[in-house]
Chains A and B, each alone.
Chain A
């Protein structure tokens, strides 16, 4: 495989272009942590620019930042990596506002970043687990489509979950 890198390492750089035209130059080993990019690289095998029309630059940047951290951590000594990754993941999701979180999740899902999707869905779950039904509807902009009485029936049958 040829390398576009000018250094002596075999690291190859990929150019990723987001929906809003923002481009990122990323090491292949980092970008291929994303299943979608890995597939494109394997299928096309070229060094061309990879266009990602469904991901906006802000979120692509964040996804790549996450990939890079994990790639770096994993090249270091094997022991303690899980701990470092866990600590870093915690930091990564700690201060995300809801809107960013959901956009990031969609970006990660589109790019098939399985581990990142796991991390973000876990975060969403931790945010909604204690919520009331009405709060869930509010968060996800859902309108109840139950017929009159149906909802009461479900609640009555499962009253312990509402205590």
Chain B
């Protein structure tokens, strides 16, 4: 490169930043590179910035693929408030959710989270009768009431067995709510209804169906790979592809011969585009357990990670009464909160409650990091909880009361 002439005066216009701020394309590019927390704050700069940041297209570009959970919402049964466990070490994340106050006062137990799905949450009133159902985005603190399913023409009563949220922002800005209810005409059969945020309507999906499963949990659906999955230990497990509008059987790991009637899958959840299952907890003859991952083509489950408690510092996790030889999982006091997957296996970890603290355990490097202290049953700082309420964490909280917080600008 040769500079042939450099004599002309270089004039510098004064308001270059102003010009940038008027160029929507450039401003969009800048805003896309900001953390969610800054974006939420900058909504109050001007109407122009508010409209750019709130645009569904912007949300789609900002979070094309949902990130890993940056926090967990924990809730005890019969308690209206949530605890927030911050998993993000940069502390850039946060959420307004303490209680779902948009529906407060409806019922004694209030509103609970049914399921968290890629940044959106399905919430419902925890009353005896199935109450209102909401889709909520805790990042932007916005909710929408999902209309009730139209009543049966025959007037037959309908039992709702479960509601699930299906949302994949990498495919579409719209979400679906999948409802499993009783069939109007045959009591031993189920019927699926699907609500779409695009049409804002419910529609029945397919005919009625039968699932040979005494214990299938339609109220604990997990969305992964474009489908909602419901598992059962003793019977058939199934999944519903929202896109294809089809229900299919799902393979499960074989049940060991020595499982007893108390057996239960301890963890079933999605993270970073992977579906995980942890079992063998309740009839263990080993000091370790495996984290299974389902193949994308449903050909089977593979053992992705193994967690061996005999490698943990004994004083942190072992039951005092346990004998040091021949240790089983029974001999350890712990509670599984969440499997968090990163793009790299080395950065994937398990959130685990042990004596006195909540920790993360990195599967590959087998290293630990403290997330927070838990005193008695109370989480101490840095978990932010309401000052006035003593929030209890059960020694082994029920896993369906732990929900991932994933940052998202998605509109509801």
Report A's interface with B, CB cutoff 8 A.
Answer: 15, 20-27, 30, 56-58, 61, 64-65, 68, 98-99, 102-103, 105-106, 109, 117-118, 121-122, 124-126, 128-133, 136-137, 139-146, 151, 154-155, 157-163
Docked Cα-Cα span, A4 to B294, in Å, equals 61
Contact B141 A99 (CB under 8 A): no
* Nearest residue, chain A, Cβ from B2: A25
B45 within 8 Å of A by Cβ? yes
Q: Which single residue of chain A is at the shortest CB-CB distance from B27?
A: A140
Does A121 lie within 8 Å of B41, measured CB to CB? no
Among residues of A, the one whose C-beta sits closest to the C-beta of B96 is A160
Nearest 7 CB-CB pairings of A with B: A125-B33, A102-B16, A161-B40, A140-B21, A160-B94, A58-B10, A20-B8
Contacts of B46 in A (CB 8 A): 137, 142-146
Q: A128-B30, A158-B140 are in contact. Are A21 and B8 (CB under 8 A)?
A: yes
With both chains docked as a complex, state the minimum distance between the C-beta of A136 and any C-beta of chain B, in angstroms.
5
CB distance A146 to B34 under 8 Å?
Answer: no
Q: Across the interface, do B30 and A155 meet the contact criterion of CB distance under 8 Å? A: no
Question: Quick check: B6 and A158 within 8 Å, CB to CB?
Answer: no
Q: Which of A68, A129, A146, A155 contacts B1 (CB 8 A)?
A: A68
Q: Of B5, B13, B50, B96, which contacts A159 at CB under 8 A?
A: B96
* Docked CA distance A122–B45 (Å): 20
- The residue from A102, A129, A155 contacting B44, defined by CB atoms under 8 A apart: A155
CB pair B10–A57 under 8 Å, yes or no, is: yes
CB-defined contacts of B145 to chain A, threshold 8 Å: none
Question: How does the 8 Å CB contact mask read for B21-50 relative to A, with 1 for contact and 0 for none?
Answer: 101011001111111011011111111111
When the two chains form the complex, which single residue of B7, B8, B16, B30 contacts A103, counting CB atoms closer than 8 Å? Answer: B16
Q: Establish whether residues A122 and B33, one from each chain, have CB atoms under 8 Å apart when the complex forms.
A: yes
Judging by beta carbons under 8 Å apart, are B1 and A25 in contact?
yes
A161 touches B33 (CB 8 A): no
Asked if B44 and A121 sit within 8 Å, CB to CB, the answer is no
Bound form: Cα–Cα A22–B2 in Å: 11
Write the chain B residue with the least CB distance to A144. B46
Sample (30) of A-B pairs whose CB atoms are under 8 Å apart: A22-B8, A23-B4, A24-B2, A25-B4, A30-B1, A58-B10, A68-B1, A103-B12, A105-B26, A109-B26, A117-B26, A118-B29, A124-B30, A125-B34, A126-B33, A128-B38, A136-B49, A137-B46, A140-B17, A141-B21, A144-B45, A154-B43, A155-B44, A158-B43, A159-B96, A160-B40, A160-B94, A161-B37, A161-B38, A161-B40
**B388 on the interface (CB 8 Å rule)?**
no
Contact in complex: B44, A22 (CB < 8 Å): no
B44 touches A151 (CB 8 A): yes
Q: Which residues of B contact A26 (CB under 8 A)?
A: 1
A57 touching B30, Cβ below 8 Å: no
Alpha-carbon gap, A32 to B320, bound state (A): 71
List A contacts of B44 (CB < 8 A): 133, 144, 146, 151, 154-155, 158
Tell me the complex Cα distance, A99–B45, Å: 21
Q: How far is the CA of A155 from the CA of B17 in the complex (A)?
A: 25
Residue B19 is within 8 A (CB to CB) of chain A in the complex: yes
Contacts of B41 in A (CB 8 A): 132-133, 158, 161-162
Q: Which residues of B contact A15 (CB under 8 A)?
A: 4
Task: Say whether B15 faces chain A, with CB atoms less than 8 Å apart.
Answer: yes
Q: Roughly how many angstroms separate A143 CA and B22 CA in the complex, as a whole number?
A: 13
B20 within 8 A of A: yes
CA distance in complex: A163, B86 (Å): 15
Which residue from chain A places its CB closest to the CB of B21 in the assembled complex? A140
Nearest Cβ on chain A to B203's Cβ, whole angstroms: 33
The yes or no answer to B344 lying at the interface (CB within 8 A) is no
- Pick the residue among B10, B31, B37, B49 that contacts A56 (CB under 8 A): B10
B3 within 8 A of A: yes
Can you add 15 more A-B contacts, CB < 8 Å, to A125-B33, A130-B38, A143-B46?
A: A25-B2, A102-B17, A103-B16, A105-B20, A121-B32, A125-B31, A128-B34, A133-B45, A137-B45, A140-B17, A141-B21, A142-B45, A144-B44, A157-B141, A158-B41
